[in-house]
Amino acid sequence: MQELKPSLSFWQIINMNVGFFGIQYSFGLQQSAVNPLYTFLHAKPEDLPLLNLAGPMTGLLIQPIIGALSDKTWHPRWGRRKPYFLVGAIFCSVSLFLFPFSRALWMAVGLLWILDAANNTAMEPYRAFIADKLPEKQRATGFLTQSFFTGFGITLANLSLYFFQQLITGTTHTNDGQSGIPYWVFGSFFVGAICSITSVGWSVYTTPEIPPTDEELKKLQAEKSNLLTPFAEIFSAIKDMPKSLWKLALIYLFQWYAMFCYWQFISHSIAKSVWHATFRDQALYEKAVGWTVWSMAFTILSPSFRLLDWCGLLKKLRPETFT
C-alpha cells in the first residue's frame, strides 16, 4: 500500500465501518439464537457442543485463509478486501433468510456451517481494511469505531429477538409433525438478512480502497502461488509471532472456551434455575430464551457505550484523530 494515506473525516470512518454492524448483527443471532433453534428442533442439550462445531472450525480455517488470500488480491474495480466481505455478506443474508424455515435439525446445522463460513469470510478482510485505509494516527479511532459497531450489532440482534417474541405468536412444525421454530424468530432473522447486505453494501459504495503502487502491483503479479501458499504463509506467521501475541493467544484460548460453554447452555440454565423447566416444556423454555437474549443484550450494551466515553476522551487528548 502507499505509505502516505490521506486522513479521513470522522464520518468517513463511520461509513467504512458501518458494514461491521451487519456482520456482527449476524454473529449476535448466531451466538444467541442458534442453540435455542436447535432445541426447538428437538436437539438434546448434550448434543449441542457437536452441533456447534461450525463456529470454531470455520473460524480456525476460514479466517486465516481468507486473510492470506485477500493480501494477494487486487482488482481495479472491486479492490482488495471488498470482494471478500461483499461475497460473505451475500451468503450471510441468504443463510439468515433461510434459517427460520428449517424443518429438521440437519437443515439448521447445514445452514450454520454456511452462515459461519460467510461471517468469517466477511469479517477477516474487514479488520485488515482499517489498516489498509487509515494512517497510523487514525487507526485507534478506526478500531474503536469497529468495536462500537460490534457491540451495537450484537446488542440489537439480541433485543430484536426479545422484541419480536412479545409481538408474534405461534410456531412452525417439523417434518414429523412436532412443534418447531416459533414465528417470532422469523422477524429477527429477516431483519438480520437485510442489515447484513445493506450495511456492507453501504461501506462498499462509500469507501474506495487505496490502490497498490506500481511496484506493489508488479510484485503481486510476479508472485507464484498455489493451493498450499495460504497455509504456508499462515504457519510462517505463527512461527514468527512475537511473545506478546503468544500470551494473548493463551488468554483467548480460555476465553473462547468459556464463551462457547456460555452460549450453548445459558438458555437451558435460565429455564432450569428460574422456571424449573426443561427444553421439553416449550412455552416455558421460550420465556427463558426471551430473558436470556434480554440479559445478553445488556451485558454487551454497557461496554459498547463505554467505548463512546473512550472516543470522547480520545477526541480531547488527540483532536487531530477526528479531523
Beta-carbon-side half-sphere exposure of residue 50 (alpha carbons within 13 Å): 7
CA dihedral 79, 144, 253, 255 (to 10 degrees): -140
Going by C-beta distance under 8 Å and a sequence separation of 6 or more, which residues neighbour residue 218? none
Check whether 27 has a pLDDT greater than 60: yes
Return the C-alpha cell found at 141.
Answer: 479511532
Q: Phi first, then psi: give them for residue 175, nearest 5 degrees.
A: -65, -25
SS3 per-residue string spanning 267-286: HHHHHHHHCCCCCCCHHHHH
CA distance 38 to 51: 8
Cα distance between the two ends of the chain? 22
DSSP 136-178: HHHHHHHHHHHHHHHHHHHHHHHHHHHHHHHH---EEE-TTSS
The per-residue pLDDT for 157 is: 92
Q: What is the pLDDT of residue 112?
A: 94
Any idea of the CA torsion for 98, 101, 103, 107, to the nearest 10 degrees?
10
Beta bridge partners of 179: 173
Distance of CA 279 to the CA centre of its chain: 27
Strand-pairing partners, residue 173, are 179
Count of alpha carbons within 13 angstroms of residue 112, beta-carbon side? 26
Q: What cell does 286 get?
A: 421460550
For residue range 179-216, list pLDDT tens digits in order: 899 999 999 999 999 999 999 999 989 988 888 777 77
Question: For 163-181, what is the mean pLDDT?
Answer: 90
Tens-place pLDDT, residues 250-302: 888 888 888 888 889 989 999 899 888 888 888 888 888 888 888 777 766 65
CA distance 167 to 32: 19
- The domains found in the chain, sorted by start residue, are 10-322 (1.20.1250.20)
* 83-133 per-position pLDDT tens digit: 898 999 999 999 999 999 999 999 999 999 999 999 989 888 888 888 888
Is the pLDDT at 162 greater than 80? The verdict is: yes
Collapsed DSSP state (helix, strand, coil) of residue 75: strand
CB atoms within 10 A of CB 45: 17
Using CA atoms, how far apart are residues 14 and 205, in angstroms rounded to an integer? 13
Q: How many of the other CB atoms lie within 10 Å of CB of 202? A: 16
26 vs 319, more confident: 26
